[in-house]
Structure 1
């Protein structure tokens, strides 16, 4: 999966920037785990870009790309990872709402970082504490299906993959809408702090210009309240331009 970037130093040259726009000149870099991208353009300018999107957004789109290429097992693996990272995102949001320091959260997370069952347990009870109601959970049959694919080497077909992806998509989007409606300001705080951390990491002790980019993903973090496109529409409209 690729991230399209422009050279922000070239943008200072308005004439050259307009030519680049006419030529639709973009540079593509491979998505990485850090969220920081170093790029050198054709004119030798080196720039850094931070990706604003959350990891669960990226993983879900990786699942769609794999699905479109016919790699259904790999697609399921990405959707599973997306859900698990959404649980982590939720846990960190709930801790932010309770004004727990980020360093304390990260230190505590190390105790469960390698155990998805413990992460899910933490998610369930923090959800109950913050949202005031038991969390909706993925039906057992989909958990069984997930384990069959991930742990037993089962190769799913197209219909099974679409069904599983839709369940994950609907689950995450419904929760995002709840979070935004009730705790939108805390979500913005989380994003700001994460970008500030990435900015400091990108500078590496030196003063360098760091830009911010945000992909349009299937799991939009700013959906209209009570409304998001159905999954079949997401699949239909998804673009592979930078795959």
Structure 2
């Protein structure tokens, strides 16, 4: 999956908005064909000759699900099912962080120090196996809400297992049904988190960005907060309130030429 990211040096020369040209129109200020990476901070070099850093404001599970849509769009159905399910597994991790956040991060504290951030990530990383991760998610959900949430259907897990472990190639219709099932499951819970745990969602983005910045050798209280941030146009988009009201289908979305493009550039 390739992204189209903005060049912050073109859009914000010297840290100030460029008033001479309209931002991100007709390809100006955009760097095409940037490979999807593991972290949310990218160092990019554009045809303009600039080298700049930019944060992607989307969550990892959103980008992985988008990768599944791209694979399905291009006819790679087995790879699409893999990406859809991996997106769900990353969503379980995200959910654990959101639900546990009040216990792990004092509401009065604006930021975590590097040790606390690493310990937080280590706690999530312990859950390596899929079964442990799912079990921890359901246990945490019950501990926080006092009720169990619906499990992802076993019939859908069987589709994933046959595609990944047995190499079974699914049809377009089967892949679309699987992706839709994963999306619908995520959307119900994501809407619930947005309503009940908005601070947890905000802080999980800080965790993703902080860990990526530390990996690059940066200091949490240094340049990270001033890095330009961009929002990628994705099917699942927790940053866009319109997503929760939309009834758009994956099939319809695949006809949209703006898939994977930067739709907002800002300095935070």
Question: What is the TM-score normalised by the length of structure 1?
Answer: 0.86
Report the Cα offset of residue 90 of structure 1.
Answer: 0.5
SS in 2 for 1:154: coil
Instruction: Please tell me whether residue 106 in structure 1 is matched to residue 121 in structure 2.
Output: yes
Instruction: Please tell me whether residue 231 in structure 1 is matched to residue 235 in structure 2.
Output: no
Alpha-carbon separation, structure 1, partners of 2:230 and 2:245: 25
- Cα pair distance change 1:226/1:34, threshold 3 Å: closer
SS in 1 for 2:197: helix
Question: Which runs of 5 or more structure 1 residues have no equivalent in the other structure?
Answer: none
Alpha-carbon separation, structure 1, partners of 2:20 and 2:137: 50
Alpha-carbon separation, structure 2, partners of 1:110 and 1:19: 39
SS in 2 for 1:153: coil
* Deviation digits for residues 4-44 of structure 1 (CA, Å, limit 9, x no counterpart): 22222223464654497456452121111022211223443
Question: Pick from 232, 246, 258: which aligns with 1:215?
Answer: 232
- Cα pair distance change 1:242/1:86, threshold 3 Å: closer
**Structure (1 or 2) with the greater helix fraction:** 1
Q: More deviation in 77-86 or 93-102?
A: 93-102
The aligned counterpart of 2:65 is 60
* Deviation digits for residues 184-206 of structure 1 (CA, Å, limit 9, x no counterpart): 12211222343344345556479
8 Å Cα contact 2:237/2:243 also seen in 1: no
8 Å Cα contact 1:72/1:155 also seen in 2: yes
The aligned counterpart of 1:11 is 11
8 Å Cα contact 2:44/2:53 also seen in 1: yes
Cα root mean square deviation, aligned? 2.8
- Cα pair distance change 1:96/1:44, threshold 3 Å: same
* Deviation digits for residues 27-62 of structure 1 (CA, Å, limit 9, x no counterpart): 121111022211223443221011121111011111
- Cα pair distance change 1:240/1:138, threshold 3 Å: same
Aligned length: 242
Alpha-carbon separation, structure 1, partners of 2:31 and 2:142: 44
The aligned counterpart of 1:75 is 80
Instruction: Please tell me whether residue 120 in structure 1 is matched to residue 134 in structure 2.
Output: yes
The aligned counterpart of 2:108 is none
Alpha-carbon separation, structure 1, partners of 2:50 and 2:35: 19
The aligned counterpart of 2:177 is 163
Instruction: Please tell me whether residue 185 in structure 1 is matched to residue 202 in structure 2.
Output: no
Question: Pick from 39, 51, 67: which aligns with 2:56?
Answer: 51
The aligned counterpart of 2:209 is 195
Instruction: Please tell me whether residue 87 in structure 1 is matched to residue 92 in structure 2.
Output: yes
Q: More deviation in 126-135 or 14-23?
A: 14-23
Instruction: Please tell me whether residue 146 in structure 1 is matched to residue 160 in structure 2.
Output: yes
Runs of 4+ in 1 over 4 A off after TM superposition: 199-209, 240-243
